[in-house]
Structure 1
Amino acid sequence: MAGTRTRTDDYGARQLSVLSGLDAVRKRPGMYIGSTDSRGLMHCLWEVIDNSVDEALAGHGEDITITLHADGSVTVEDHGRGIPVDIEPKTGLTGVEVVMTKLHAGGKFGGGSYAAVGGLHGVGASVVNALSSRLDVEVIRGSKIYRMSFKRGKPGRFDDSAGAPAPDNPFTPFTKASELDVVGKAKRGVTGTKIRYWADPQIFLKDARFNYENLVDRARQTAFLVPGLALTVHDERGVQRDETGEVIESRTEEFRFSGGISEFVDHLAHDEAVTDTWRLIGTETFTETVPVLDDRGHMVSTDVPREVGVDIALRWGKDYETRIKSFVNIIATPKGGTHMAGFEQALLKTMRKSVEVNSRRLKVGKDKLEKDDVLAGLTAVVTVRLAEPQFEGQTKEVLGTAAVRQIVARTVEQELGALLNSQKRHEKQQANQLLEKVVAEMKSRISARTHRENQRRKTALESSSLPAKLYDCRKSDIENSELFIVEGDSAMGTAKAARDSEHQALFPIRGKILNVQKASVGDMLANAECSALIQVIGAGAGRSFDLDAARYGKVIIMTDADVDGAHIRTLLLTLFFRYMRPLVEAGRVFAAVPPLHRVEVVNRGRANDVLYTYSEAELHALLKRLERSKRTYKEPIQRYKGLGEMDADQLAETTMEPEMRSLRRVTMHDAEAAERTFGLLMGSEVAPRKEFIVSGAAVLDAERIDA
């Protein structure tokens, strides 16, 4: 084994690599931006935008413009103070070059230039520069326009005389000393910074792209968080198509809001409100021990006072979905941190205290609220502002400053407690409604848990606990079993004869079920049809829904092919969307497609052919084909108004037999868009629905209405 022995005497100090400056960023980009796909590409853009937003937060500049160019570059322009252009004494470099080339350099460490910022590590601009094949920065200060360019982090000049600016144009790096060129004059009093960069294809994956929708969402979000700040997004990346299919050359969106995070919560919430949007605001200080540079250039541990500003907007609605967004100095923290821990801890503690005080009226007993009961239907924006927050990593997704937890918790306990105990009529009424809602969620959770523990797939001897009108299938193979929800008794009779009783179950509903988009959880559970459907599917409802406990592999809505049938299908889909959403997300909810017409084609000397069509267009196309081939058909053509008009063989052949039928799978590509649509069509607010109907009346085909 001597030949495989590892030699250790060759491993010495000369084998160690020391990366300096921006080389470390290019060697390990994931340490700074998380990844080199589209997510990392967008993170670089956030770093540049956040620097401009920090200027606006400091009171300098009221507008930011982001432009996605057709050549793949992006420009971020603001009217802040502009990056300093004078010489930084320690390095002998201009402020522009220090900011763009030196890691952990900037105006956000000492606390003199910015009070509370998002870009605090001092690596954002320099990291973007290091990972760009070209970066141009223009600064307006002192009535002059200054310019400097970089290629992969190295300062120099590009020769753009042959055409448009591009990273492949001839580049001359500075060898002795860098120069900040003066390229124009500006109006007196005008300041700002403009950065345009091309992401380096040597670093980022080929399919990495700037996502316009994500950028727009981030711009809208920032406009909510910084009231009065205008953010404009231009997309100039060639020919695009809008939602209607029209070709467009570019698109632009602008955001400016004055209502702050209260308006943000109203934008995020789509359900009917239980409470108004409440604002919880507080400020506290704490002492943090941090290393500070003294006059001799030594780092000395010093106790520094920190002020934490807490600003929370929240409201509860009748839905059970939770929408919470958290921010530190306008930087989103999608994975939470100490501020979110304090918020949730205080929310549960305060609610439990209020429920205990009102336990007799609410009939709570010994049961205790859990976090999910309180979060159900909650829409909230949690923001904290403090100097030099501690994040876990450069991507800033988790806040780590420990003292923030108790400060946020105390603010929530004091402010929310005051609202829940208020004696003002309006606030007292809302507090009572909120306590009733969270207690209803608790009872629903306990009921669902009990149901799940007791309810297992029933054998023939145990099926008596299921609704009497359920015609269950005989096999217990969940993957291949199907539940047909059938409209009406007449169709039910035909479906019983048409089904394969081995794996197809039938459950009839009479007429239109409760519109659960408007109703509360308690009303939904009290409704006979809704509760029976939940019992039949056997997986619970709402937050406690357990997809693995569902008794059927497919749930198929089978309604008449008319307006009433479409309405019933919509009501059923509303129930599934609101209270059994994982079933929809898993692609296990379907709509049957019964035929509209039966055409009997005459054959001489043998049995006639029977053809089915599923739309008026398909029927006309079939009749034209028959005419061209000179074949005749019996008149009148049968038009099915309902499932009950078919006999069992026809229903089985067209709608129920897996080998012959067509099913439409109900999918959820965009949950937020789906939620807005359900809220518009089925919610309690009449005005938006009326506007939608009126605006679409002109394009409605009257012949499609089965009246």
Structure 2
Amino acid sequence: MYIGSTGERGLHHLVYEVVDNSVDEALAGYCTHISVLLQKDGGVRVNDNGRGIPVDIHPIEKKPALEVVMTVLHAGGKFGDGGYSVSGGLHGVGISVVNALSRDLSVVVQRDGFIWEQSYKLGVPNSPVEKGIATKETGTEVTFWPSEEIFETTDFSFEILSTRFREMAFLNKGLTISLRDERAGHVDEKGEPLEVRYCYAGGIVDFVKHLNTTKGVAHKSIIAFETEDLKQKMSLEVAMQWNTSFTESVYTFANTINTQEGGTHEEGFRTSLTSLVNKFAEEWGYIKRKEDRLTGDDVREGLTAIISIKVSEPQFEGQTKTKLGNTEAKSFTQKALNDAVGAWFEKNPSEGKEIVRKAIDAATARIAARKARDLSR
């Protein structure tokens, strides 16, 4: 199975695969708005204002690039001079798989001064790409109806989609993603169709603010930085702030996919953070070198953090393919954090000391709990 499952999870992945193509256009700087519509007839329409999927003749396949993108597995990559990038999504399969698993799919492209259209059944074109009327607009619109014979359910969840789109909007600063549900019975308190619109100018800094809304913060600033390594084709964004709770809320993403099982980027983050907080705790005279060393759990108590890495060829591992396996991501994240967060601690000693004291309180409680356990045995 191309997308991991034929259940609810796989069904929603169809939408993500299409939306990921539009997000790639946003990352390249060409798309500012993506709208998703759940239609009355069970179809899903995804619309963006990017450059439009290329329609020129593919040099190898000798067909319009649009048809190749829509029908050839792993046809992602660069097309034409514009370098249109087609997303691989979570399973690296792209939009052709959505087409193969849909009883019907239609695509409308606005590009090169005209409207271009093609429709398909279970991935097979009904007719060649048609050139329509002239237009000055650009963009891509994909409408698809998942096959009832392939999927256990074809009933999309507004909640699941809206949660994911809010996440995507946080991870792609300034991108607007809207979702509207026109299916019968899917209405709000006023009887209007359910609708949400997400756009965050602050990106993952807004994400951290959102997660800490109901919590008291342990220090004023949100620590945030972004960096990239052009040679290794990797970029990293991190935003973090400790709150007064005792729980750790660290969320990691690779190419905007929620890496719930963590992975190499999270390992690099944890290693660096533990070592940095210990370094400054020692420098500022809170702990002695060996005996008082703070553990990773001490350091991350009450931490809210977003780690978002983008790598050119992600390797996903684990049970649900939500663990990043790229070894180079660990050292990249570790070094980036050492530099940026290390510099932040140097420049903000008063807030830094609040973070160190919080970690020491966590360590004190941990040691006291261990002693109490030892005494009761």
Q: Who is 1:44 aligned against?
A: 14
* CA 1:115–1:274: 2 relative to 1, 3 Å: farther
For the residue of structure 2 that corresponds to 1:137, the secondary structure is strand
Of 270, 274, 284 in structure 1, the residue corresponding to residue 229 of structure 2 is 284
Residues 433 and 155 of structure 1: is their aligned pair in 2 closer, same or farther, counting only changes over 3 Å? same
Contact (CA 8 Å) 1:236, 1:249: kept in 2 or not?
A: no
Q: Which of 260, 265, 273 is matched with 1:347 structurally?
A: 273
8 Å contact kept, 1:116–1:387: no
Alignment partners' CA distance in 1, 2:223 and 2:320: 30
Residue 105 of structure 2 is matched in structure 1 by 135
Q: Describe how 1:246-285 pairs up with structure 2 within 5 A.
A: 246=189, 248-269=191-212, 270-275=214-219, 276-284=221-229
Residues 84-141 of structure 1: CA deviation (Å, up to 9, x unaligned): 1122132222111101111111235999826896648762101111111111111111
How far apart, in 1, do the equivalents of 2:292 and 2:87 lie? 44
Report the CA distance shift for 1:237/1:380 in structure 2 as closer, same or farther (over 3 A): same
Which residue is 1:53 aligned to?
23
Matched with 1:195 is 142
Partner in structure 2 of residue 410 of structure 1 = 335
Post-superposition CA distance 1:163-194 (Å, at most 9, x none)? xxxxxxxxxxxxxxx511234432x2x11110
Q: Distance in 1 between matches of 2:123 and 2:105?
A: 8
- Structure 2 partner of 1:598: none
Query: Residue type matched to 1:413 in 2?
Result: N
- Cα distance in 1 for residues equivalent to 2:167 and 2:81: 26
Q: Does 1:385 align with 2:329?
A: no
Residue number in structure 1 paired with 2:124: 154
| Aligned equivalent of 1:448 | 369
Pairwise CA distance, 1:338: 1.3
Unaligned segments of structure 1, at least 5 residues: 1-28, 157-177, 286-304, 457-707
In the alignment, is the contact (CA less than 8 A) between 1:225 and 1:260 conserved in 2?
A: yes
Distance 1:392 1:209, change over 3 A: same
2:242–2:303 CA contact under 8 A, matched in 1: yes
Render the CA deviation track for 1:626-646: whole Å, top value 9, x for unaligned.
xxxxxxxxxxxxxxxxxxxxx
Secondary structure of residue in 2 paired with 1:441: helix
> Which whole-Å CA distance do the structure 2 matches of 1:306 and 1:215 have between them?
32
Judge conservation of contact 2:117–2:132 (CA < 8 Å) in 1: yes
CA–CA distance in structure 1, aligned partners of residues 79 and 372 of structure 2: 57
**C-alpha RMSD of matched pairs (Å):** 2.6
- TM-aligned CA distance change 1:114 to 1:340, over 3 Å: farther
Superposed CA deviations along residues 451-477 of structure 1, whole A, max 9, x for unmatched, are: 234347xxxxxxxxxxxxxxxxxxxxx
Partner SS for 1:39: helix
Note the C-alpha offset of 1:49: 0.4
2:262 to 324, 336, 342: 336
SS at match of 1:366: coil
Residues of 1 paired with 2:93 and 2:65: CA distance?
14
The number of residues matched between the two structures is 375
Query: How big is the shift at 1:395?
Result: 7.1
Taking the aligned partners of 1:388 and 1:331, their CA distance within structure 2 comes to 13
Partner of 1:638: none
Aligned residue for 2:359?
438
Q: Percent identity?
A: 40
The Cα of 1:433 is off from its aligned counterpart by 0.8
Kept in 2, the 8 Å contact 1:118–1:330? The answer is: no
Counterpart of 1:65? 35
CA distance in 2, matches of 1:112, 1:348: 44
Specify which structure has the bigger relative contact order, considering alpha-carbon pairs within 8 angstroms and separated by 6 or more residues.
2
What is the CA–CA distance in structure 2 between the aligned matches of 1:252 and 1:408, rounded to whole Å?
37
Q: 2:240 aligns with which of 314, 338, 348?
A: 314
Aligned partners of 1:86 and 1:94 also within 8 Å: yes
- CA, structure 1 residues 48+353, in 2 after alignment: closer, same or farther (shift >3 Å)? same
Counterpart of 2:54 in structure 1 is: 84
Distance 1:353 1:115, change over 3 A: farther
1:54-99 per-position Cα deviation (integer Å, ceiling 9, x unaligned): 0111111211100011222111000111111122132222111101
Distance 2:149 2:134 in 1: 36
1:394: Cα distance to partner?
Answer: 12
1:261: Cα distance to partner?
A: 1.3
Amino acid at match of 2:227: G
- Which of 135, 159, 166 matches 1:213? 159
Q: Which has the higher mean CA deviation after the structures are superposed, 227-236 or 348-357?
A: 348-357
SS in 2 for 1:367: coil
Distance 2:228 2:26 in 1: 22
Distance in 1 separating the partners of 2:330 and 2:314: 12
Distance 1:77 1:321 in 2: 39
3-state SS of paired residue (1:306) = coil
Pick closer, same or farther for the CA change 1:118–1:179 going to 2, 3 Å.
closer
CA contact (8 A) 1:115 1:387 kept: no
Q: Secondary structure at the match of 2:35?
A: strand
Is the 2:287–2:293 Cα contact (8 Å) retained in structure 1?
Answer: no
Instruction: State the match for 1:15 in structure 2.
Output: none
Change over 3 Å in CA distance of 1:284–1:60 after alignment to 2: closer
Asked if structure 1 preserves the Cα contact closer than 8 Å seen for 2:261 and 2:318, the reply is no
Partner of 2:73: 103
Q: Does 1:371 align with 2:296?
A: yes
1:303-347 deviation per Cα after TM superposition (whole angstroms, max 9, x unaligned): xx4232222111111111211222223333222221111111111
Alpha-carbon distance between aligned partners in 2 of 1:205 and 1:116, rounded to the nearest angstrom? 28
Distance in 1 between the 2:184 and 2:48 partners? Answer: 25
- Equivalents in 1 of 2:247, 2:86: separation in Å? 32
Amino acid corresponding to residue 64 of structure 2 in structure 1:
T
CA change 1:148–1:261 in 2 (3 A) is: same
Q: Which runs of 5+ in 2 are unaligned?
A: none
Residue aligned with 2:276, SS: helix
The alignment's TM-score, normalised by the length of structure 1, stands at: 0.50
Question: Structure 1 283/55 Cα, relative in aligned 2: closer, same or farther at 3 Å?
Answer: closer
Q: Distance in 1 between matches of 2:95 and 2:72?
A: 9
Q: Which amino acid aligns with 1:338?
A: T
Secondary structure, in 3 states, of the residue corresponding to 2:316? Answer: coil
Give the counterpart letter for 1:399 in structure 2: L
Rate the CA distance shift 1:374–1:197 in 2: closer, same or farther, 3 A: same
CA contact (8 A) 2:76 2:85 kept: no
- Name whichever of 435-444 and 264-273 sits farther off: 264-273
> Is 2:279 the counterpart of 1:358?
no
**Partner secondary structure for residue 220 of structure 1:** helix
